[in-house]
């Protein structure tokens, strides 16, 4: 029961009120109550709620016939009966009602007429349902599910018989398939409550329940808990993969090449593609003539003072490509050193190695380690002595 009370204006010497009583879909009657019928002469020409008949006997339970009638044009616009009409918020169209009736007929919420002893195994076999009406097919389906229990499983024959009988009865095949596979939604119809929840207009969740900073904090906590779970449950499993560490010198003849890579943590740089290869030509398995020719072909890449060859490449955009390029060039040099003229009469040029050694010696001429002892201050020596005494 919906009650709407609308207070009108206060007249001189009296108070009038109109109460509308009725359901949400219709208004039954309008009730007027007043404590006096005296109207001042100055207000007789104005529209009024008052009537010539006293209505103190009107009660909330009075019948519409006992209530005096009034001209609707005299009522304020907000209090007119036609303005207080209400329409139902939700009404089912014919297609929706037919779909709901089909789902209810399938009885996925309340199953009736469950008496599996009334049917034999042959009658509960879906292959024997040809020619039956829709209601009979649904009844046998429910009894078959009840009789088989946990051993029951859906089949294409059941669905085919349901669709066939449903089409004969005028039901939609799509609704039957959705209901059979459990993809239906039963709408509870309540005649007394028209305030149905309309979920079609609910907006999608946009993560706006809390500010962005709050979501960032929650995500941080979520990541920390994930790492804690990993350390608690995953790290102990790595014990099975423990291998003792044994330091062994690599065989230079088995793997003579040493590659050096450059990487920068947290950023990308062009130098990360550069690859440097170090090796001793004597470990390549060349003959004496081939080794001499290999050193000649290497040019300034061979250091005669250290006996090492150094090849570098950053021609390609990635480190694996540059490594493959260096391997190809070294193999070409090795193949060329074993073939053709050996150039035994050509001496090895070592000027570039000597110049490099001189530059290094000149650069290291003045170092802190060669600071003259007589220039040291006595107080510094006392501090060094105390430091050695305390910390060894």
pLDDT, averaged across the chain: 72
d(CA 105, CA 160): 17
pTM, entire model: 0.36
Helix 134-148 / helix 94-106 crossing angle, nearest 10 deg:
40
Beta bridge partners, 10, equal 15
- Residue 317's SS3 state is coil
SS (H, E, C) 40-58: CHHHCCCCCCCCCCCCCCC
* Mean per-residue pLDDT, 69-76: 49
Share of the chain above pLDDT 90, in %: 26
Looking at the structure, tell me whether residues 48 and 139 fall in a common domain: no
Range of the domain at 42: 2-84
Look up the CATH number of the domain holding residue 353: 3.30.160.20
- How confident is residue 311, by pLDDT bands cut at 50, 70 and 90? very high
Q: Are residues 278 and 346 in the same domain?
A: yes
For residues 123 and 166, state if they share a domain.
Answer: yes
Are both 104 and 57 inside the same structural domain? no
Whether residue 279 is found in the same domain as residue 315: yes
pLDDT at 80 over 70: no
Residue 207 lies in a domain: no
pLDDT recorded at residue 102: 63
Per-residue pLDDT of 174-232, as tens digits, reads 778 877 776 443 333 444 444 445 556 667 788 888 898 999 999 999 999 999 999 99
Position 266 confidence tier, pLDDT thresholds 50, 70, 90: confident
Quote the CA–CA distance of 68 and 9 in Å, as a whole number: 20
Distance CA 207, CA 219 (A): 12
If asked whether residues 268 and 327 sit together in one domain, one would say yes
**What band does 322 get if pLDDT is binned at 50, 70 and 90?**
very high
Tell me, yes or no, whether 69 and 110 share the same domain. no
pLDDT at 19: 36
Work out the average pLDDT over 248-267. Answer: 83
- Average pLDDT estimate for 338-361: 89
Average pLDDT over residues 344-354: 90
pLDDT band at 288 (very low <50, low <70, confident <90, very high): very high
Q: Is residue 315 part of a domain?
A: yes
- Using the predicted structure, report yes or no on whether residue 251 has a pLDDT greater than 60: yes
Predicted confidence at residue 11, as pLDDT, reads: 34
* Band (257; pLDDT cuts 50, 70, 90): very high
Dihedrals φ, ψ of 265, to 5°? -75, 130
More confident residue, 168 or 55: 168
- Of the pLDDT bands very low, low, confident and very high (cuts 50, 70, 90), residue 235 is very high
pLDDT of residue 84: 43
Confidence (pLDDT) at 312: 96
Highest mean pLDDT among 16-30, 37-51, 343-357: 343-357
Domain end (from 84, 116, 140): 84
Examine residue 356 and state whether it is found in any structural domain, yes or no. Answer: yes
pLDDT band at 302 (very low <50, low <70, confident <90, very high): very high
Asked whether the predicted pLDDT for residue 334 surpasses 90, the reply is yes
Using the 3D structure, point to which of 180, 211, 244 is the last residue of a domain: 180
Tell me phi and psi for residue 125, to 5 degrees: -80, 125
Residue 314: pLDDT band (50, 70, 90) is: very high
Highest mean pLDDT among 33-37, 38-42, 89-93: 89-93
Residue 298 backbone class (left: φ over 0; alpha: ψ -120 to 50; beta: rest):
alpha
| Res 250: pLDDT | 66
Q: Mutual orientation of helices 156-169 and 173-180 as an angle, nearest 10°? A: 140
Q: Report the domain count for the chain.
A: 3
For residue 54, tell me if it sits in a domain. Answer: yes
pLDDT at 362: 83
pLDDT in tens, 53-70: 444 444 444 444 444 554
Instruction: Specify which of 169-178, 266-275, 368-377 reaches the highest per-range mean pLDDT.
Output: 266-275
pLDDT of residue 319: 95
- Whether 175 maps to a domain, the answer reads yes
Residue 136: predicted pLDDT: 82
Task: Flag whether 263 is in a domain.
Answer: yes
Per the CB < 8 A criterion, the answer to whether 251 and 280 are in contact is no
pLDDT at 281: 93
pLDDT at 96: 62
DSSP 150: G
Q: Tell whether the model's pLDDT for residue 355 goes beyond 60.
A: yes
Assess whether 156 and 71 both reside in one domain. no
User: Is the distance from CB of 66 to CB of 57 less than 8 angstroms?
Assistant: yes
Q: How far is CA 56 from CA 34, 86, 192, 373, in A?
A: 7, 29, 33, 124
Supply the pLDDT for residue 206.
82
CA of residue 230 relative to chain centroid, distance = 21
Q: Is residue 369 part of a domain?
A: no
> 204 in a domain, yes or no?
no
Does one domain contain both 66 and 103?
Answer: no
Between residues 162 and 30, the one the model is more confident about: 162
Does one domain contain both 69 and 123?
no
Query: Do residues 70 and 109 share a domain?
Result: no
Asked if pLDDT for residue 325 goes beyond 90, the answer is yes
Regarding whether 141 and 45 lie in a shared domain, the answer is: no
User: Is 113 or 294 the better-scoring residue by pLDDT?
Assistant: 294
Among 54, 84, 114, the domain boundary falls at 84
């Amino acid at each position: 029961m919906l009650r709407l009370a609308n207070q009108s204006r206060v007249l001189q010497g009296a108070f009038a009120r109109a109460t509308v009583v009725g359901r949400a879909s219709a208004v039954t009657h309008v009730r007027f109550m007043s404590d006096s019928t005296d109207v001042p002469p100055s207000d007789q020409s104005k529209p009024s709620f008052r009537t010539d008949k006293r209505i103190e006997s009107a009660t909330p339970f009075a019948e519409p016939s006992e209530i005096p009638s009034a001209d609707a044009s005299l009522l304020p616009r907000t209090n007119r009966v036609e303005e207080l009409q209400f329409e139902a918020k939700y009404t089912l169209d014919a297609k929706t009602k037919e779909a709901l009736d089909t789902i209810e007929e399938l009885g996925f919420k309340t199953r009736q007429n469950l008496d599996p002893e009334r049917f034999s195994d042959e009658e509960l076999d879906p292959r024997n349902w040809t020619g039956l009406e829709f209601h009979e097919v649904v009844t046998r389906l429910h009894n078959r599910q009840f009789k088989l229990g946990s051993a029951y499983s859906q089949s294409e024959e059941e669905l085919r018989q349901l669709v066939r009988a449903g089409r004969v009865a005028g039901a939609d095949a799509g609704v039957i398939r959705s209901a059979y596979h459990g993809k239906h939604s039963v709408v509870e119809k309540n005649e007394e409550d028209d305030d149905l929840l309309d979920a079609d207009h609910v907006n999608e969740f946009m993560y706006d329940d809390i500010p962005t900073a709050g979501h960032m904090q929650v995500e941080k906590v979520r990541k920390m808990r994930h790492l804690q779970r990993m350390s608690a449950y995953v790290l102990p499993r790595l014990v099975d993969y423990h291998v003792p560490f044994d330091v062994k010198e690599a065989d230079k003849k088995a793997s003579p090449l040493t590659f050096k890579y450059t990487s920068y943590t947290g950023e990308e740089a062009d130098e990360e593609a550069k690859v440097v290869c170090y090796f001793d030509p004597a470990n390549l398995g060349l003959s004496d003539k081939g080794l001499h020719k290999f050193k000649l072909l290497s040019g300034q890449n061979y250091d005669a003072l250290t006996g090492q060859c150094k090849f570098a490449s950053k021609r390609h955009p990635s480190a694996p490509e540059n490594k493959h390029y260096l391997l190809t060039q070294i193999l070409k040099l090795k193949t060329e050193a074993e073939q053709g003229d050996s150039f035994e009469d050509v001496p090895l040029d070592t000027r570039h190695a000597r110049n490099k050694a001189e530059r290094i010696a000149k650069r290291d001429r003045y170092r802190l380690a060669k600071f003259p002892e007589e220039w040291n201050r006595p107080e510094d020596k006392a501090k060094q002595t105390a430091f050695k005494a305390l910390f060894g």
